[in-house]
Amino acid sequence: MFSQPVSVISGLKFDEKGLITAVIQHHQTRDVLMVAWMNAESLRLTQETGETHFWSRSRQELWHKGATSGNVQRVVDMRVDCDGDTLLLLVDPAGPACHTGEMSCFYRRLEIEKLGD
């Protein structure tokens, strides 16, 4: 089903700042843990180490997820979407993904107003 490997750099579409969106998902529960940005260097580091590395847009620097907290994310699988502009990383997390201590950065719900009620 997911058998078409993509040549990493040539198959990806980085934006004008050299970044690509990365969706991080728990490989067992399939919960979305976080969304982050990667550049070519963070992608290379992720592939070489087997743990997630990202580009911080606010700090303008590379960061290894869990380097200070210990909550590293071991990469189980990496996939790319059909357009080549978004990555999906399936991970085995050592702890919470969110800096608030929540397992996922998506722990807050927005209410949906139902139209026509």
Q: pLDDT of 44-56, one tens digit each?
A: 999 999 999 999 9
Q: Is 89 left (phi over 0), alpha (psi -120 to 50) or beta?
A: beta
Residue 29 lies in a domain: yes
- What is the domain count for the chain? 1
* CA-based nearest residue to 23, from 9, 37, 10: 37
CATH code for position 73:
3.10.20.810
108 — pLDDT class (breaks 50, 70, 90)? very high
Domain boundaries, position 48: 20-93
Instruction: Give the model confidence (pLDDT) of 44-95 as tens digits.
Output: 999 999 999 999 999 999 999 999 999 999 999 999 999 999 999 999 999 9
Q: Give the residue with greater pLDDT, 84 vs 4.
A: 84
Residue 105 lies in a domain: no
Q: Which residues, 6+ apart, have CB-to-CB distance to 20 below 8 Å?
A: 12, 13, 14, 37, 38, 39, 43, 85, 86, 87
117 — pLDDT class (breaks 50, 70, 90)? low
Residue 116 lies in a domain: no
Residue 103 lies in a domain: no
Hey, which residues does 38 pair with through a beta bridge? Answer: 20
Here the tokens at position 66 are 């869990």
The 10 Å CB-count burial string (b at 16+, else e) for 71-90 is: bbbebeebebeeeeebbebb
Residue 12 lies in a domain: no
Residue 3 lies in a domain: no
Residue 13 lies in a domain: no
Residue 5 lies in a domain: no
